Chain A
Amino acid sequence: MTDTAAQICKLLEPFNSNGTALSAKTDISADLNIDSVTVMDFVMEVEDHFDIEIPLNVLSETRTVEDLAKVVDSRVKKG
């Protein structure tokens, strides 16, 4: 797991109410059984942790921790 993915997993812990083992392949919404609003709340935490902007409209193809890590990395580098 990349460092970014590991940080994302740590941020995901408070949202992991069903005790899923988190990995790069974890599907954030489906595996953790969290609704659309909670996913957006989680993304806000990720934005603040990395001090980046992740517009909601770029997340439509983002499902797993790995996917989100890629989005974060591309935006951190840009900044």
Chain B
Amino acid sequence: MDLLAKLSGIAERHARVRALGLEGVGVVNDKIISPTRAIIGGRETILAGTNNYMGITFEPDCVAAGQEALAEFGTGTTGSRIANGSFAMHAQLERELAAFLGRAHCIVFTTGYQANLGMMSGLAGPRDTIYLDADSHSSIYDGCTLSGAKLVRFRHNDAADLDKRLSRGEDDGGGKLVVLEGIYSMLGDRAPLADFIAVKKKHGFQLLLDEAHSFGVLGAGGRGLADEAGLEKEVDFIVGTFSKSVGAIGGFGAGDHPYFDYLRYAMRPYMFTASSSPASIATSIAALRKLAAEPQRRKRLMENSARLFAGFRALGLDMGCDVVSPVIAVKCPDEPSTVAMWGALLKAGVYVNLALPPGTPNKLCLLRCSVSAAHSDEEIDRIIALFGSVVAEGHGLRAMSA
């Protein structure tokens, strides 16, 4: 039996998209002009699907910090954090991030994916149970699998459903970890944190909040959903990423538990991989300082998000959630029409994310936008206008049938 024969279904699906002249999941940016502009297929394109929430990827001081670290510390660390790969700057980023978050401890990972892999598998083991939201990111699911823990899935954003499942499970003496996300990446909705904290008080579990899309974005201090909700003390562990608001690559876990730092020796995705490159760590430090010093970026992001949200609402588009969020997803009828409209938008000069099942909840087909603080009003208005002609008026569908 050919091992790759099982990929035939994927090959067929890919061919259907290619037949439309589109490369739905393999768009190549030939040149990045700014946080909100790129050259794609020879055309200057507005980027509205980059998760570059703070628009921080071209800040001169961040770029300079990266260049300096590259020159001074080299291209790579060539080793794990527990061997030769810990440089002073890795520890410095961890200290600064812990201070930013108001947490006693912080551990930095090479990617955000590994942060969730590491934290799930470090916190929970085969004798424990992880309760995870049904809409959790794949990195959470994969981390849960790696942990070997018992996995119980509860209905998305439904604290009463979690309560029911906690009551249903027998007490096997193991620990209980509940995993939530600050902003869910596909629909842009937030976890109703207060409702879950009430369930936490009733059942007594440890709570991990993944602030990947909300770190730098929500809360007066930019610390995420727990900051916005005023419930940071109730959250035991925070996970986040450097690939969104921070504009680099990497991830982190943070907490106050006195044993937290020993997770370093219990997380395989932390131990058995090389540490982040010096340039990436240096740009993350510079960007983190910017997040702290420039709260106007958050204000601008929310203004831009509100502008796009209001524009889409005025067009009568069916959106993923009913509150303003920097993730704004438009629900579409089916896969062929979504692919066609996505392609029409790209040809007209705006890149958004094509999001299809099983990467989406409830089998939804989505045109997913993420807003940046760096978007100008004119860019937001252009995105709205193009969604108006391609999606609301259906020109994208007519282009497909033509």
List B residues 137-153 near A (Cβ within 8 Å).
144-145, 148-153
A 30-73 contacts with B by CB, 8 A:
35-38, 40-41, 43-44, 47, 51-53, 55-57
Interface residues on chain B, number (Cβ under 8 Å): 18
Interface presence of B357 (CB below 8 A): yes
Complex formed: what's the CA distance from A53 to B148 in Å?
Answer: 17
**B202 interface contact, C-beta 8 A:** no
A57: chain B residues within 8 A (beta carbon): 145, 148-151
Our pick among B150, B165, B357 for the contact of A37 (Cβ within 8 Å) is B357
Verify B358–A53 contact, CB threshold 8 A.
Answer: no
Please give, as numbers and ranges, the residues of chain A lying within 8 Å of B149 by CB-CB distance.
57
Partner of B152, one of A41, A51, A53: A53
Q: Quick check: B153 and A40 within 8 Å, CB to CB?
A: yes
B134 touches A44 (CB 8 A): yes
B230 at the interface (CB under 8 A from A): no
Q: Does B169 contact A (CB under 8 A)?
A: yes
Q: Let me know if B165 and A36 touch, CB within 8 A.
A: no
Cβ-Cβ contact count across A and B, 8 Å cutoff: 38
Query: Distance in Å from the Cβ of B147 to the closest Cβ of chain A?
Result: 9
Known contacts A52-B168, A53-B165, A53-B168: A37-B155 contact under CB 8 Å: no
Given A53-B165, A53-B169, does the pair A37, B358 have CB atoms closer than 8 Å?
yes
- B151 in contact with A55 (CB, 8 Å): yes
Considering the complex, give the chain A residue whose CB is closest to the CB of B169.
A53
Asked if residues B358 and A36 are in contact (CB atoms below 8 Å), the reply is: yes
Closest Cβ of chain B: how far from A37's Cβ, in Å?
Answer: 4
Complex CA–CA separation, A27 to B144 (angstroms): 25
Q: Write 22 A-B pairs (CB below 8 A) sorted by A numbering.
A: A35-B357, A35-B358, A36-B358, A37-B357, A37-B358, A37-B361, A37-B363, A38-B357, A38-B358, A47-B168, A51-B168, A52-B168, A53-B152, A53-B165, A53-B168, A55-B150, A55-B152, A56-B144, A56-B151, A57-B148, A57-B149, A57-B150
Give me the 7 closest cross-chain CB pairs, A-B, nearest first.
A35-B358, A56-B151, A37-B358, A55-B150, A57-B151, A53-B168, A53-B169
- Known: A47-B165, A55-B150, A56-B144; 15 extra A-B contacts, CB below 8 A, are A35-B357, A37-B357, A37-B358, A37-B361, A37-B363, A38-B357, A40-B134, A43-B153, A44-B153, A47-B168, A53-B152, A55-B151, A56-B152, A57-B149, A57-B151
